[in-house]
Amino acid sequence: MSLNVGVIGVGMIGQDHIRRLTHVLSGARVAAVTDVDLDRARAVADDLPGVTVHGSGEDLIADPAVDAVVVTSWGPTHEAYVLACIAAGKQVFCEKPLATTREACDRIVDAEVAAGRRLVMVGFMRRYDPQYRAMKEIVTSGEIGAPLLMHAAHRNPSVPDFFTSDMTINDSTVHDIDVARWMFDDELAAVTVLKGRVSRKAKAGFHDPLLVVLQMAGGVLVDVEAMVNAGFGYDIRGEVVCEDGTVELSESAGAVVKSAGRYAGRVPANWRERFVGAFDTEFQAWIDAVTAGGTTGPSAWDGYATTVGCETGLAALRSGQREPIVLRERPDLYKPEAGA
Ligand code: NAP
């Protein structure tokens, strides 16, 4: 029996998730779609047999033929849809961010805690990337000693004109913040954002690159080079330095060619190419967990902590100072012993 999924927001990533639900993964089918642009929703539904187009996200969530919901609309709309799913007792996969403010994430955490069970998974797909998973396995095993530092780079080839330095934190570094919390099973304690020499490719008033320094509660330091005008490709780097060794992500996305005294490999063109497998694994994990009656993966707490990290990162970008990160107490629902 297939899980009937409703998709709210059929823009770029909504359509990509519909493609994977329909053609790549097993155990689910798209049963309903909606979008603020109903013509777009109808156009997407035209290619899918037996799909209902709803006039609003709220109608889609209330549809008894929809078992579970995917929220891929614009970030500021996520809170209302996730809250409506919790109220309806329906499992929801919400693309990052869970919500765009600390207060909105608080309301979601409160609602889920009141419901007494996890209903929310947040789309931090790097946790499903085989390279990051291998890195975490080695760090967690302790075989190369305790972790001390992580060096990371998040280089986008280019960004659209509407992109701002704030979005470098909210849309790019958000993934590095999630990786740091997950990699070290620890919360962030503080963030500093350094602005240096600006790339000639950055538009006026845009600080590119940024150097974001995260301090974990346990003392590990994570430096993230966040650059969105790299030009040459989508280059994601990571190295964890431990007491007795280091572990790093592979340099190349494919085969490495050595010839004529040089070696060369492929740099992915964009985030879709780099993380396509991670998105597939992430979604299959969600389908399997929901079919089994629960959820899995990054929780509403992870969504909350990451949004607070980004908000504080923006304060650090403006102040130029080290800004402490203050989180509410973690509810029992999200403690490891609760299976979160
Ligand atoms: P997008 O192409 O702009 O798609 C968003 C879609 O939602 C658009 O069709 C938009 O319509 C629609 N929408 C806006 N308000 C809505 C509402 N109230 N109800 C229903 N639909 C609404 O954006 P995107 O790139 O797909 O991003 C969508 C979400 O996915 C964002 O939160 C983004 O951060 C996240 N994302 C995550 C990753 C990742 O790496 N995990 C990658 C990409 C995107 P209009 O265009 O008419 O406003």
pLDDT per position as a tens digit, 230-265: 999 999 999 999 999 999 998 777 788 999 999 999
Query: Chunked in runs of 10, what are the mean pLDDT values of the chain (340 residues)?
Result: 95 97 97 98 95 98 98 98 98 98 98 98 98 97 98 96 93 97 98 96 93 98 97 96 96 84 92 96 98 97 98 98 98 82
Is 233 buried (19+), middle (13-18) or exposed (0-12) by CB count in 10 A?
middle
The atom number, within ligand 1, closest to the CA of 271 reads: 40
Which domains does the chain possess?
3-126+277-298+333-338 (3.40.50.720), 128-274+303-327 (3.30.360.10)
Ligand 1: residue whose CA is nearest its atom 17: 36
The atom number, within ligand 1, closest to the CA of 171 reads: 34
The atom number, within ligand 1, closest to the CA of 8 reads: 20
pLDDT per position as a tens digit, 211-232: 999 999 999 999 999 999 999 9
**3-state class of 184 per DSSP?**
coil
The HSE-up count of residue 124 (CA atoms within 13 Å, CB side) is 32
Note if the bond before 76 is cis, omega within 30 degrees. Answer: no
Asked whether 11 lines ligand 1 (CB < 6 A), one says yes
Supply the pTM of this predicted model. 0.95
Asked whether 176 lines ligand 1 (CB < 6 A), one says no
Tell me the DSSP string of 252-275. -SS--EEETTEEE-PPPSSHHHHH
Asked whether 79 lines ligand 1 (CB < 6 A), one says no
**Distance from the alpha carbon of residue 188 to the mean position of ligand 1, in angstroms:** 27
Is 174 buried (19+), middle (13-18) or exposed (0-12) by CB count in 10 A?
buried
CA angle at 185 for the pair 181 and 187, rounded to the nearest 5°: 50
Q: Could you give the strand order of the β-sheet that contains 210-216, starting from the edge strand earlier in sequence?
A: 245-248, 235-242, 147-155, 221-227, 210-216, 188-195, 323-324
Q: How far is CA 300 from CA 3, 10, 73, 107, 303, in A?
A: 22, 22, 17, 10, 5
pLDDT per position as a tens digit, 159-202: 999 999 999 999 999 999 999 999 999 999 999 999 999 999 99
Which residue intervals of 116-262 are DSSP H helices?
A: 130-141, 165-167, 174-183
**Distance from the alpha carbon of residue 74 to the mean position of ligand 1, in angstroms:** 4
The HSE-up count of residue 70 (CA atoms within 13 Å, CB side) is 30
